[in-house]
Amino acid sequence: MPKVSVCVPIYNVEKYIEKCVRSLFEQTLDDIEYIFVNDCTPDKSMDILRRVLVEYPQRQKQVTIFEHKYNKGVAASRNTGVNNVTGEYIIHCDSDDWVETDMYEAMYDKAKAENADIVCCNYVAEYSYKRVFETYPYLEETKEILQKLSPSILNSSLVNKLVRKDLYERYAIRSFEGINMNEDLGQTLRLRYLSRKTVIIPKVFYHYNKLNEASMTVSSNLRYEEDRIQCARLLEDWFVS
């Protein structure tokens, strides 16, 4: 069993994926697996991934690539990843972002030291003209804190949260398929609610790419608002049940 499984959905990121996968393959954590999900990307993203992978022979046996037969969206891609991991802990990475090379080792060590179900880290939003750091104001997330928080990228995102695989499996937690904007919240809120212990490692490990104009999170539109409403309804149904 690998210590960490990293799930990476791929769609239309040929300008950015090389930086992403290099940061993944250069992780200081050796005992790791990478699950890449090709959601029928129309560009050369997969060619770039395979070209870069050749340069990291020590990682090749740790990589599995799944190919969707048709475009299903990011929520379904995340589910494909989670359905096929073998690691003790799971984390997601978006294929247009990048990470610090010691991110997964530090988060895994923190999880084991604290016996935590979830470990969160801080991130920096990378714009062409500035960098915006987003940091947690606390070191452990209690139920009282969770109840008072408003959704934000920092506390809702999957990419800065290392989650014990057993938490996914025991409660059958997956993304709400069909919701491809704000889909992180539908998964992380349930995981954080169910977590016996959620701790923060107060370091900036994740680089959130705000340069990608093709990203669904760049602009707010009617589909985004519809997805938010549907996510809220599904969450309400889950909590009521």
pLDDT for the residue 217: 54
- CA 114 to CA 132: how far, in whole Å? 29
pLDDT for the residue 213: 63
pLDDT, greater one: 241 or 155: 155
Residues facing 132 on adjacent strands: 125
- Report yes or no: 110 and 202 within 8 Å, Cβ to Cβ: no
- Average model confidence (pLDDT) for the chain? 93
* Cβ neighbours for 176, distance < 8 A, ≥ 6 positions apart: 75, 183, 186, 187, 230, 231, 234
Give the confidence band of 12 by pLDDT, cuts at 50, 70, 90.
very high
* Nearest Cα residue to 224 out of 159, 185, 175, 180: 180
Give the confidence band of 215 by pLDDT, cuts at 50, 70, 90.
low
pLDDT for the residue 214: 63
pLDDT for the residue 9: 98
- CA 133 to CA 125: how far, in whole Å? 6
This prediction has a pTM of 0.93
The answer on pLDDT for 237 being more than 90 is no
* Nearest Cα residue to 22 out of 122, 131, 87, 95: 95
Backbone angles phi and psi of 8, in degrees to 5: -130, 105
Collapsing DSSP to helix, strand or coil, 13 comes out as: coil
Residue-wise pLDDT tens digits, 43-82: 999 999 999 999 999 999 999 999 999 999 999 999 999 9
- CA 12 to CA 134: how far, in whole Å? 26
What is the percent of the chain with per-residue pLDDT over 70, rounded to a whole number? 96
- CA 74 to CA 80: how far, in whole Å? 10
Average pLDDT over residues 208-227: 71
The answer on pLDDT for 202 being more than 90 is yes
Cβ neighbour number for residue 214 with a 10 Å cutoff: 13
Give the confidence band of 31 by pLDDT, cuts at 50, 70, 90.
very high
Residue-wise pLDDT tens digits, 129-169: 999 999 999 999 999 999 888 888 899 999 999 999 999 99
What are the strands, taking DSSP E only, across 46-106?
63-67, 89-92, 98-99
C-alpha separations of 141 from 182, 185, 238 in Å: 21, 16, 21
Give the confidence band of 239 by pLDDT, cuts at 50, 70, 90.
confident
Give the confidence band of 196 by pLDDT, cuts at 50, 70, 90.
very high
pLDDT for the residue 91: 98
- CA 92 to CA 120: how far, in whole Å? 12
pLDDT for the residue 176: 85
* Nearest Cα residue to 159 out of 185, 178, 181: 185
Give the confidence band of 177 by pLDDT, cuts at 50, 70, 90.
confident
